[in-house]
Amino acid sequence: MNFGLDKDQREIKERAAEFADRAVAPYAAELDREDRVPFGTLEKLADEGFMGLCVPGEYGGAAVDFLSYCLLIEEISRADAGVGATLAVHTSAGTLPILAYGTEDQRSRWIPPLASGNNLGSFALTEPNTGSDAAAIETRAERVDGGYRISGHKQWVTNGRAAGTMILFARAVGGANEGVTAFIVPMDAEGISFGKHAEKMGVISATTDDVLLDNVFVPEEDVLGEEGKGLRVALGTLDPGRIGIAAQAIGIAEAAFRYAAGYAAERETFGKPIAEHQAIAFKLADMQTKIKAARLLVHEAAWMKDEGMRVTEAGARAKLYASEVANEVTHEAVQVLGGRGYMKEHPVERHYRDARVTEIYEGTSEIQRLVISRGIVREHAASLEAPGGVAATRPVVG
């Protein structure tokens, strides 16, 4: 068993950390205040090759493993969780599904501009009437000659108005296989407009926009996967995507922990640094321990993905735990700073707000618990049937 990163992974982590400290962190408070898309930062990420880090070289990516991509997301999110969200959605939800489910023609047409960062990716599943229950989407894709005419309302699309493409989910009707279908759609297609720009609690530097579709023509060659099999694409995208969100959560928690630990060493009350009061010292011990435990779950799930294993439950466990840790740690970081923790001059106030959404997007904590518990039921049902009973059971994951 090896808990260490290999040489390439260590190098990526160091490069990402240096980049995050130099090119991302200095602008985080300003972007949080101003609610604008950080195009300059995205260009710098592209120059570093970070917009297509885990994309194969033949499509213009840096061809590193998924664990390295998670290290990048953690470091960028430590500096600015909104930029982390932009990068995570662009990569795991806007680019990797084309690699996983696309034809060779789709991969070679759509992926290179995404991997180079010339084009920002997005993922449009949620609608006003449905989020967790993805099978209930109402956006319609009517089969017409040569393709589909799509109309509907997509809500809270991360990268929305800044994106060049979206992986769009709509209900195909009038064709051979009715049902949820995935499409690759350029944002400049005729009939696309933008609705409300969301005013959010946190991750403010990641733009979140409603996308309105009015009779948008999408040619049949841009169906991603098979007609009527779009839920498979959605769920297969979210499984590894959740590992990236878990890495984002750890980045937020790590930032809050480091700041609180530094503050506790300096701030004195009753004649000694607050870090020497046991109540504060134990908070710091718990914060660090939980972050390290969450990181192990993330690295395990990312490693499993790199080994080609199924990551449905492992990704859900990593996201569930890391997002809850991020919320606990940022809560405690505010407490360690006392009144200063509540003030915008100190970044823990932003980390506290940024952490909240990690328990919500790419599946709420309740949905992660459903995914994990269904895996447990399957595993134990299988164990009862297996010769030798429970002891002979193979884990579902793997």
Ligand X SMILES: Cc1cc2nc3c(=O)[nH]c(=O)nc-3n(C[C@H](O)[C@H](O)[C@H](O)COP(=O)(O)OP(=O)(O)OC[C@H]3O[C@@H](n4cnc5c(N)ncnc54)[C@H](O)[C@@H]3O)c2cc1C
Catalytic annotation, residues: 362
126 touches ligand X (CB under 6 A) = yes
Q: Which residues contact 186 (CB under 8 A, 6 or more apart)?
A: 164, 165
Residue 200 interacts with ligand X (CB under 6 A)? yes
364 binds ligand X (CB under 6 A): yes
Look up residue 220 and give its amino acid.
E
Instruction: Tell which residue, 215, 80, 45, has the closest CA to residue 142.
Output: 215
Residues facing residue 171 across a β-bridge: 140, 180
The piece of 19-27, 103-111, 118-126, 282-290 that touches ligand X (CB under 6 A) is 118-126
Q: Is 124 in the site for ligand X (CB under 6 A)?
A: yes
238 touches ligand X by CB under 6 A: no
Q: Which amino acid is at 13?
A: K
Q: How far is the CB of 378 from ligand X (least distance, A)?
A: 17
Q: Is 363 a residue that touches ligand X (CB under 6 A)?
A: yes
Contact in structure between 348 and 259 (CB atoms under 8 Å): yes
84 touching ligand X, by CB under 6 A = no
Q: Report residue 62 as tokens.
A: 């840096």
Residue with tokens 């609705």: 195
Q: Quote the distance between the C-alpha of residue 359 and its chain's center.
A: 11
How many whole angstroms separate alpha carbon 367 and alpha carbon 348? 28
One character per residue 10-49, x = contact with ligand X (rule: CB under 6 A): ----------------------------------------
Q: Are strands 192-197 and 268-269 parallel, antiparallel or unpaired?
A: unpaired
From residue 148 to residue 187, the character string flagging contacts with ligand X as x (rule: CB under 6 A) and all else as - is: --------xxx-----------------------------
Output 35 or 48, the one with its CB closest to ligand X. Answer: 35
Listed ranges 119-127, 243-251, 284-292, 336-344: which one lies at the site for ligand X (CB under 6 A): 119-127
**Residue numbers of the site for ligand X (CB under 6 A)?**
89, 123-126, 131-132, 156-158, 200, 203, 208, 357, 360-364, 366-367, 370
